[in-house]
Amino acid sequence: MLCYVMPHWTCLKAAVDAEFARHGDLVQGNFVDSYKNLTLKAVMGLRWMSQYCSEAPFAIKTDDDTFLNIFEMVRLMQENAKKSHVRHLLTFT
């Protein structure tokens, strides 16, 4: 992709569209990704998880600036797996 020829936003949109076409692993909302809109982003993610992952016993929400303690996460999942009637959302933010 020749990003240096296109305006930055055009190149970014083309890269995002290509990623989605290849892997189908992106969730996009129609709002500016800013600190002010973190609630919108979180609710959009929860809504997506509820719609597309309704059978999953666990969902994890984290950010790119967060360290995820895998050992603690596994411990929490094992501890709560016994409560099979409850769905769990683990948040690490």
Same domain (yes/no): 25, 35: no
Q: Which range of residues forms the domain containing residue 76?
A: 31-92
The pLDDT confidence band at residue 40, using thresholds 50, 70 and 90, is: very high
Q: Provide the b/e sequence for 63-82 (b: ≥16 CB within 10 Å).
A: eeeeeeeeeeeeeeeeeeee
User: pLDDT tens across 70-87, in order?
Assistant: 898 888 888 877 766 555
Written as one string, the DSSP assignment of 33-67 is: -SGGGHHHHHHHHHHHHHHH-TT-SEEEEE-TT--
Same domain, 42 and 25: no
Q: Name the domain count of the chain.
A: 2
pLDDT per position as a tens digit, 20-31: 999 988 888 888
pLDDT grade for 92, boundaries at 50, 70 and 90: low
- Mean pLDDT, the chain, integer: 79
Pair (18, 35) in one structural domain: no
DSSP 61-78: EE-TT----HHHHHHHHH
